[in-house]
């Protein structure tokens, strides 16, 4: 008769060591990816606005940029120093003569759902 015990406590110990090393890297990757995704969406909506309403706001979509503020803190949206970025307030909220375009709010509609899911996946991925 033979008894054979198999355990994977060593794997768990390895994971515990690796999680603290990988979490900041993976966390930053998730935040960065979502910032780029949000910016691509917002820029796409802004381009759509341009095709629909003529060429006076052709310089608006190129003003959408992504930048890193700190580790795991990224920002995207129109840069006021580029092209028509300074007109973002009017395009986003509209004015007395034009309806709001909500390019940024519409991108947030998507990101606010997908970002938490990506964070969830990232945390699960730290194990195994």
Tell the smallest beta-carbon distance from residue 10 to other proteins (Å).
39
Number of residues in contact with other proteins under rule CB under 8 A: 15
- For 47, counting Cβ atoms within 10 Å of its Cβ (0-12 exposed, 13-18 middle, 19+ buried), the class is middle
Tell the smallest beta-carbon distance from residue 127 to other proteins (Å).
25
Q: 19: part of which helix (H) or strand (E)? A: helix 9-53
In the complex with other proteins, the residue whose CB is nearer, 109 or 121, is 109
When binding is defined by CB under 8 A, the residue of 11, 56, 114, 121 that contacts other proteins is 114
Q: How far is CA 42 from CA 46, 82, 104, 122, in A?
A: 6, 16, 5, 24
Residue 89 touching other proteins (CB under 8 A): yes
Judged by CB under 8 A, which stretch of 4-12, 18-26, 72-80, 89-97 contacts other proteins?
89-97
Residue 80 touching other proteins (CB under 8 A): no
Residue 30: which of 127, 109, 128, 114 has the closest Cα? 114
């Amino acid at each position: 008769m033979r008894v054979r015990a198999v355990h994977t406590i060593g794997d768990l110990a390895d994971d515990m060591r690796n999680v603290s090393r990988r979490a900041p890297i993976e966390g930053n990757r998730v935040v960065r990816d979502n910032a780029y995704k949000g910016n691509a969406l917002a820029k796409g909506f802004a381009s759509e606005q341009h095709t629909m309403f003529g060429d006076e706001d052709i310089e608006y979509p190129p003003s959408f940029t992504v930048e890193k503020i700190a580790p795991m803190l990224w920002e995207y949206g129109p840069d006021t120093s580029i092209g028509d970025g300074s007109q973002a307030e009017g395009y986003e909220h509209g004015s007395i003569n034009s309806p709001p375009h909500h390019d940024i709010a519409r991108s947030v509609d998507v990101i606010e759902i997908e970002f938490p899911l990506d964070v969830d996946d990232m945390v699960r991925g730290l194990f195994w």
